[in-house]
Every structure is written in structure tokens, then in C-alpha cells.
A and B are shown apart, each in its own frame.
Chain A
């Protein structure tokens, strides 16, 4: 069983479109995250939700809107896609608040290509 699963694995779309990436975890974790990995492999956090409540919202354009219908799901919706949005997006989860001793579990990533 996949612990953290995200769909789709690949997403190719035109500039200006709206798209969503879904994420689900079956680990019973309280906290979920979205990370963005750019073409140079640099990884940066975007959002964090704890029990469906937004905890971290980094400096991300408001075209990006996370939605957590329940603590097992954290979806990412992106409006008006731009070329610079092309990246690999990773969903992750952790048991608690992801503090000093927390281990994060990552999904396998969604490669988004905006043409």
C-alpha cells in the first residue's frame, strides 16, 4: 500500500489553464504538506495543514490554493498557470507537527509542465 499517494504523476498543460493535484495519505497522520522542487532539485515548502487547518503558508502566489477536505487529503489547485510554475510538486505527511524529531513521508511527486 502506498503511504502517500498523489495524482497525477505527470501533468502537461497550457499557460492560463487551471489544474489540480490530489494527495492522500493512509498513515493516519495529522499534518500534510506541499513542497515544490525546481529544475535544479531545490526543494521548498509551500503549505502545511494540521488537522485541516492551515499552519504554514509561505510566500506563494494566491493562484495556488490548497484544500483539505479531511486530514487524510490535501489537494492543490492552481489557477492561471504560468511557465514558471513548471516543477515537481511533492505532497508529504507527518504524524504530528513535524517538529524537531518528526519524520516526513513523501509522495512520489507530480511533474507539472506548463507550455
Chain B
């Protein structure tokens, strides 16, 4: 079956530090890959996505590249801000999955001033 594995958290960084959150997946065929973000007290929001190999998704300074050879979709940001503190979820969707996103376990990010 499909699965998504994220790096264990929590991750604590100082403002302006470089961020990487690792994500690897297991799926047959060619899934679409997503990063969702959950800010404190809110629901999840789509951060970025990539639908085919070598695609790069980007939004709000965050980037992730769909690497089929390593089955990875690592999230990166060059300089984090306190406002980036949130829980980040990697997810995949296969075919007409009717929103049946398979989520990773979430990584808590805390950024200190």
C-alpha cells in the first residue's frame, strides 16, 4: 500500500536558519505529492505540490522537488521566520483517490527569534 514517512520532530531553529524536512514515500505508479501546513489552532492548508517526477513545487519561500529515483519530496526553505512555526505534513495521492490523501506523521517546527 501507499505510505509516507517524514523525519521525526520536533525541529527547533533560530530565525533565518535553513530548513529541511525530509519526506520519502512508497507508492506504485506515479503519485502526486503535497506538503500541507497546519498553523496553531487552524486546519491544514496546502503549501505546495508536484504532480510528476522532477517537478518543483514552491510557495512562500518553501520548495520541494519530486525525486522519483529516491522516492523523496524534501521540504526546504533558505531562511525561516518565527511565523513559519507550524506542523508540516507530507502527503501523496494516487489516481482518482477521492481525496484519499496518505499523510506522513507530521513534523512540528518551532522557530525562535
Residues of B within 8 A of A109 (CB): 42-43
Closest residue on chain B to residue A90 by CB atoms: B43
Stretch in B16-24, B63-71, B97-105 with 4+ CB within 8 Å of A: B97-105
Q: How far is the CB of B3 from chain A (nearest CB, A)?
A: 12
Q: How many residues of A contact B (CB 8 A)?
A: 29
A101 touches B98 (CB 8 A): no
CA distance A106 to B89 in the complex (A): 13
Q: What DSSP secondary structure best describes chain B's contact surface?
A: loop
Q: How far is the CB of A74 from chain B (nearest CB, A)?
A: 12
Residues of B within 8 A of A104 (CB): 36, 44, 46, 99, 101
CA distance A50 to B100 in the complex (A): 12
Residues of A within 8 A of B51 (CB): 100-101
B105 touches A42 (CB 8 A): yes
CA distance A100 to B87 in the complex (A): 23
Residues of A within 8 A of B99 (CB): 31, 33, 45, 48, 56, 92, 94, 97-98, 102, 104
CA distance A105 to B46 in the complex (A): 8
Binary per-residue interface labels of chain B (69-106) against chain A in the complex, 1 for a CB within 8 Å, 0 otherwise: 00000000000000000010100011111111101011
Q: How many residues of B contact A (CB 8 A)?
A: 26
> With an 8 A cutoff between CB atoms, is A108 at the interface?
yes
Report A72-115 residues with CB < 8 Å from chain B CB.
90, 92, 94, 97-109
Chain A to chain B contacts (Cβ below 8 Å), 23 pairs = A40-B105, A41-B87, A41-B106, A43-B89, A43-B106, A56-B100, A90-B43, A90-B44, A92-B99, A94-B99, A98-B93, A98-B99, A98-B100, A99-B93, A99-B97, A100-B93, A100-B94, A102-B93, A103-B46, A103-B49, A104-B46, A107-B43, A109-B42
B residues with a Cβ closer than 8 A to A are: 31-32, 36, 41-46, 49, 51, 87, 89, 93-101, 103, 105-106, 108
Which are the 5 A-B pairs with shortest beta-carbon distances?
A98-B99, A106-B43, A41-B106, A100-B32, A43-B103
A residues with a Cβ closer than 8 A to B are: 4, 31, 33, 40-45, 48, 50, 55-56, 90, 92, 94, 97-109
